[in-house]
Structure 1
């Protein structure tokens, strides 16, 4: 046991008003989405121009994308200038996705 006197704790101050999470905020106060959320951001004709549809086996999230297991998405399938694998091939090689047909409209 220590012979030091116990220190008094300062009382915790409660916030003046409760915080509101974005999910609880009225729709008018919520930020607008930066991109449309209905459908892929790539045109269907781009699938013939060096892109491939992949079926995700895992989740993939980034600043412009949020995919879950089972989602289909169009990825770039063009190899790099020095023969590097494409983005689609890297995802397949890593086991994160597999090639699939385009989703039905």
Structure 2
């Protein structure tokens, strides 16, 4: 079964997030390194106000779908993974929250 990594950027008042850099520089960098390592697809979601007009707790999410947990673990601890983490300050002044898990069902 596939494995998902969800990367969440908090929606704090002072957060800076450069979506253009993220989509046109950071994600191509990640894709070049991790597509062959097992990334099947990725999606970037920009959250807007909720239906109740409350500020959502997260501003941006990136959901990366991997072939399996083994490929994710190998790539994320591999020799080039530091590049992706060191690039974060280029597009955000906040460290993201990483949440991962096995896909147990889908529709």
Higher relative helix content: 2
Per the normalisation by structure 1, the TM-score is: 0.28
Q: Which has the higher contact order (CA 8 A, sep 6+)?
A: 2
User: What's the TM-score, normalizing by structure 2?
Assistant: 0.28
Structure of higher CA gyration radius = 1
